[in-house]
Structure 1
Amino acid sequence: MQGEDVITEDVLIPYRAASLTELLSHFPEPPQSPSAARTSSPLSASVDEGKKWDSSPDRPSMFSKFKKKTGHLFDSTGGKKMSSPLMTKPRSESDYGRASPELVVTDTTSPATATSSENQLRQVKSVENMDRPNRPTSSSSLPSVFRTRESFDSGSSLEETNQWQAKTPSVRSSVSPLGQSNNIAELTKATEENNFDLLQKAFRGQLTSSEEEEEVENILKELPNGELNTTLGRLHTTTDPIASPKVPRDNKGGKKLVDLSRLRQDLKSSPTIKLSTVVFDFGKIEKIGQRLTNELLLTNTGKDKAKFKFKGGSSLGQYDISFEPSEGEIKKKGSQNLWVTIVPKVEADLNAVCYVEVENGMTYYFVLRANRDRKLFGSPIDTLETVDELGLVVPVVLVELKEMLLKNISSQTQPQLFSNDVDSNELAGAKKELYRGNNWNKNPHVAARLLKMWFEELPVRVMDAIPSSVLADSSDGTKACQFIHKQLPEPNHAIISWLVNLLIDLRDMNGRDSSICGGWGKVLTTEAEESCNQFIQHMVEGGKIEPST
């Protein structure tokens, strides 16, 4: 502080947790218009100017009441005590009066005070609908940011204060000034709480959109079995059939306007059930078409009969799921055995969210899981797990091979990408890792060889459905292209289109190497091998194939 006793606005405003009574007495008169911008940035008004805070009832007052017993600041309009110890959002300049020159902002150097400051920042919660914040219950719980000029001169410097201020986060971010670990933990906790609230909403049957339903499914699918058991078990036992309403009170904060005893009675009379398990893990699937069944026990825990109905039991694409019985009624204090059956239709894992609805009650979620050893090579195409890539539905293994190929290809890649020999041990190791779903190799030639092996080992070649006469009579590939586009069934059409588009990309990346198109006839068809090679050559040179409509 050199020369004059002033405190700048940028130093004062971040510390919104003042609790000193004398500070309030030195607030000067605020501007008449709340939206009016200040013409002078330094807050340099002196006490000699004689401006005091006007607390008359005709004008709005930021701090017109102060309760000394608790140390809380109250709203001037209704005397309502706020719930947050710090301000939850930045205020405009017009919300603050000018500070007394006898008070200056200083740094906090003691470890105890630093700990107190950190604890205050950790208590920040988002309450954006609040009109004004509440202050801490005592000045001792605040960081010592307000001191007299004498303590300032004998203690910290303004530069140190500004450094401390620079570390002070906005209240919205809730980042600790001592690091971001607290912020990460708080965000994780907030996410878990939000997820649990959404799940409770789903259990009460209060989801209002398909986006919420999808989010609930994703939350449950991502949880491992242990956490899933804990979470669903907690939801089953703690969620009320209806949301507990907020109980309004009169202006004096005393009389309750809702009959809670009647509310509790209504909650207890709602039908409730208990599931014997919430996670069905069928383990490893041995073969496609294998029928696996598990038992589920439903117990009526309410005071009346419970009517139930299962949902999510229709065909889910890759598995057939059924419940026996799919609906029924359980008497008071009774129970009923049910059977859950799954039948795999393709080579894919099962992770399905199902639920049972109780009439006039809640929705009870549970998850079905199973896993299957991947059979990527030598299996019929219609038994493989598929994925949609750019409008073409193709087996997942092709997309994985493509990603590994494009990830590792470079300008140094040898020519004849699909024709070079690969070490057999390296090829076997890469194939083993591919079955495990791991990132298995950095050699693009290995990925290229495995891609050709996949087509070669199919029980029925992809282009065998195209008559050899069509391939032979089409010197420029026109007839074959028309046949593929109009008559070749799925998924063969999508796979051929996907392959041609990949070869075009590889040719462009590898200096327009025409050898990339060679040698495909013997792995795509059992007849007219040379004609098939010419067809692939024409297609790659002609341009990409669009998905069929």
Structure 2
Amino acid sequence: MEIGWPTNVRHVAHVTFDRFNGFLGLPVEFEPEVSRTPPSASTRVFGVSTESMQLSIDSRGNCVPTILLMMQRRLYSQGGLKSEGIFRINPENGQEEYVREQLNNGIIPENIDVHCLAGLIKAWFRELPTGILDSLSPDQIMEAKSEDECLRLVRLLPTTESALLDWALNLMADVAHFETINKMNARNIAVVFAPNMTKMSDPLTALMYAVKVMNFLKTLIASTLREREDS
């Protein structure tokens, strides 16, 4: 009896994607068609869309970039919430670029100045391709005066932007909770975050709009703090 070549054979390859090293386990025959090098966005955490970033679930169920949670944990563990002027004071010169480079490699160096961490969190939002509030029109923001009106606008945000705003608001509420120590009440923390939440090409218009965004954020921070007290 003559035995022929096997038929109906499947070649199974287990390929994984690593955001730093690209495709791992890629069969040799596919290498000319699929680059092993990861897309540029996958090796950066600043100035890129969240769609190309590694995501994690925070304590409130928000799906947000892992790098934000990493920076938040380090900020809290190093006592950043109780540091006077946190998110307002500029970091020491020279450290930010080094830390940025390390963050792009998924590493948070030891002994980072908490003001550097806070500045990089703001920079992360500022350098997004689009601001997290840009799906709302300036008129909508400016006309929202009451807490109910502000909360209604939040519900209009797309899922990704809504999750990022909720994460940011709870971060700001955590800061405001220690206002007697860090001197950063709801208004102060809203002031420093507001310019990072929207994109406007005209500097003067952006400055005026930031005041409205600040009031919007301040109202939402106060709402978040009140919700915590009631729960």
- TM interval, shorter chain, is 0.7 to 0.9
Cα distance in 1 between the residues matched to 2:114 and 2:161: 25
Cα distance in 2 between the residues matched to 1:412 and 1:483: 31
Contact 2:91 2:113 in 1 (8 A): no
Matches within 5 A, 1:189-208: none
Report the Cα offset of residue 414 of structure 1: 2.1
Helix, strand or coil at the partner of 1:424 = coil
Matches within 5 A, 1:86-485: 284-285=21-22, 294-295=27-28, 374-390=43-59, 391-409=61-79, 413-415=83-85, 417-440=86-109, 441-485=111-155
TM-score by length of 2: 0.73
Specify the code of the residue in structure 2 equivalent to 1:543.
T
The aligned counterpart of 2:214 is 533
Cα distance in 1 between the residues matched to 2:73 and 2:160: 20
The aligned counterpart of 1:543 is 224
Report the Cα offset of residue 532 of structure 1: 0.5
Higher normalized strand content (fraction of residues): 1
The aligned counterpart of 1:71 is none
Residue of 494, 498, 509 corresponding to 2:163: 494
Measured on the aligned residues, the alpha-carbon RMSD in Å equals 3.6
Contact 2:81 2:174 in 1 (8 A): no
Identity of aligned residues (%): 16
Cα distance in 2 between the residues matched to 1:505 and 1:428: 26
Specify the code of the residue in structure 2 equivalent to 1:521.
A
Determine if the alignment matches structure 1 residue 507 to structure 2 residue 176: yes
Report the Cα offset of residue 477 of structure 1: 4.3
Cα distance in 2 between the residues matched to 1:294 and 1:460: 37
Report the Cα offset of residue 517 of structure 1: 2.3
Helix, strand or coil at the partner of 2:164 = helix
Larger RCO: Structure 1 or Structure 2 (Cα < 8 Å, ≥ 6 residues apart)? 2
Q: Which runs of 4+ in 1 moved over 4 A?
A: 274-283, 339-344
Cα distance in 1 between the residues matched to 2:100 and 2:115: 13
Contact 1:347 1:375 in 2 (8 A): no
Where structure 2 has 5 or more consecutive residues not aligned to the other structure, the ranges are: 1-5, 201-205
TM-score by length of 1: 0.33
Contact 2:96 2:116 in 1 (8 A): yes
Contact 2:67 2:106 in 1 (8 A): no
Specify the code of the residue in structure 2 equivalent to 1:493.
S
Contact 1:420 1:445 in 2 (8 A): yes
Kindly name which structure, 1 or 2, has the bigger radius of gyration based on alpha carbons. 1
Contact 1:347 1:384 in 2 (8 A): no
Give the aligned length.
201
Contact 2:42 2:53 in 1 (8 A): no
Contact 2:91 2:116 in 1 (8 A): yes
Report the Cα offset of residue 492 of structure 1: 0.3
